[in-house]
């Protein structure tokens, strides 16, 4: 036991300096941002006319100019942090297109297309595939099984975490493992408010397997798997999860998250991250926030 390698950076610091209190150890952790390439789609035609998750109430009006301004804020924030933001052309018949994370999963320039669970969003998959083909991506796979892109797939250093239960089919997990050659960890989602993996779990450092998540969104077995693989994970409390605080995007240093998730800010800072609260209140009416609007193109 004595010579096993610490699994995470936090565990390593803890081992080297066991006498330091936890916060002090964490405080010493140096975080580094890595420039990212994101794909986003402006909410020019965003509206809530159907309901495919419990957040969507077609009776509730959406303030479209406000939705656009909030989304532009997010886009501009990424750019000011040094990230590249690519844009998809919004289609009037696809009001959920703003949630670009669902359209594909890209790792090592390999593009796994999406296949949506609900007919209302089905046509988005082709728009994403066309974009990747037009932008020089040559390894593009049209999936046989339902998967909603990064809504249900999350990339850590060692694994591809994969949600199931509401949208993506368990069969898509094997398909993704075969295509990417990365070990897939299937996770069962059990609470309809957290219908996609990215509403309940966020990768904070994809070079060190660091995540934050909300355990009650997962089945008992999946909670045990997460606790085993990520013993140092930041555990979110109910109010922050309910503010969709796990629907966040990290570049390894900055963590952009819904501003209502105030309980996550200090724990993130204690781990050396810089939380940046974003107001995406209008898009929350569609059941999405920061991460849902952001697909990462990993080269």
Residues that bind ligand ARG (CB under 6 A): 52-53, 56, 96, 99, 101-102, 121, 151, 196, 198-199, 286-288, 292
Here the tokens at position 181 are 């050659």
Is position 196 annotated as part of the catalytic site?
A: yes
Q: Which of 292, 286, 297, 227 is nearest to 58 (CA)?
A: 286
Q: Look-up: residue for tokens 């974003």?
A: 278
204 near 254, Cβ under 8 Å? no
What CA–CA distance (Å, rounded) separates 4 from 260? Answer: 40
Least separation in angstroms between CB 198 and ligand ARG:
5
Residue placing its CB nearer to ligand ARG in the complex, 181 or 192: 192
Which residues are within 8 A (CB) of 15 and not within 5 positions of it... i.e. 6 or more apart?
6
- Among the listed residues 173, 196, 202, 254, the single catalytic one is 196
Here the tokens at position 108 are 């090592």
214 near 236, Cβ under 8 Å? yes
Q: Which of 7, 8, 58, 24 is nearest to 272 (CA)?
A: 24
Least separation in angstroms between CB 30 and ligand ARG:
30
What CA–CA distance (Å, rounded) separates 113 from 143? Answer: 6
Residue placing its CB nearer to ligand ARG in the complex, 166 or 265: 166
Least separation in angstroms between CB 254 and ligand ARG:
19
258 near 277, Cβ under 8 Å? yes
Least separation in angstroms between CB 203 and ligand ARG:
13
Residue placing its CB nearer to ligand ARG in the complex, 156 or 199: 199
Residue placing its CB nearer to ligand ARG in the complex, 46 or 265: 46
Is position 45 annotated as part of the catalytic site?
A: no
Residue placing its CB nearer to ligand ARG in the complex, 27 or 281: 281
Least separation in angstroms between CB 55 and ligand ARG:
7
CA angle 224/182/123 to nearest 5° reads 95
Residue placing its CB nearer to ligand ARG in the complex, 43 or 272: 43
What CA–CA distance (Å, rounded) separates 166 from 160? Answer: 18
**Kind and range of the H or E run holding 257:** strand 254-258
What CA–CA distance (Å, rounded) separates 161 from 197? Answer: 8
Least separation in angstroms between CB 292 and ligand ARG:
3
Here the tokens at position 135 are 């932008």
Catalytic residue numbers read: 196, 292
């Amino acid at each position: 036991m004595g010579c096993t390698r610490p699994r995470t950076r936090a565990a390593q610091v803890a081992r080297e300096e066991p006498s330091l209190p936890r916060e002090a150890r964490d405080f010493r952790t140096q975080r580094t941002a890595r420039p990212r390439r994101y794909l986003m789609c402006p909410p020019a035609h965003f509206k809530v006319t159907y309901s495919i998750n419990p957040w969507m109430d077609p009776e509730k009006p959406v303030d479209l100019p406000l939705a656009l301004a909030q989304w532009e804020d997010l886009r501009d924030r990424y750019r000011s942090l040094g990230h590249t933001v690519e844009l998809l052309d919004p289609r009037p018949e696809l009001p959920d297109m703003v949630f670009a994370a669902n359209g594909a999963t890209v790792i090592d320039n390999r593009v796994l297309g999406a296949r949506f669970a609900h007919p209302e969003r089905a046509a988005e998959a082709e728009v994403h595939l066309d974009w990747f083909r037009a932008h020089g991506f040559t390894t593009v796979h049209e999936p046989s099984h339902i998967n909603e892109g990064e809504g249900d797939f999350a990339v850590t250093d060692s694994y591809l975490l994969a949600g199931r239960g509401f949208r993506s089919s368990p069969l898509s997990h094997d398909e993704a493992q075969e295509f990417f050659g990365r070990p897939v960890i299937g996770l069962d989602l059990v609470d309809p408010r957290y219908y996609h993996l990215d509403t309940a779990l966020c990768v904070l450092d994809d070079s060190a397997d660091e995540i934050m998540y909300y355990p009650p969104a997962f089945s008992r077995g999946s909670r045990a798997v997460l606790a085993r693989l990520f013993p140092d994970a930041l555990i979110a409390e109910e109010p922050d999860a309910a503010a969709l605080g796990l629907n966040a995007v990290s570049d390894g240093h900055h963590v952009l998250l819904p501003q209502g998730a105030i309980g996550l800010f200090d724990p993130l800072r204690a781990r050396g991250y810089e939380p940046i609260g974003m107001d995406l209140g209008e898009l929350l009416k569609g059941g999405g926030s920061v991460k849902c609007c952001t697909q990462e193109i990993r080269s």
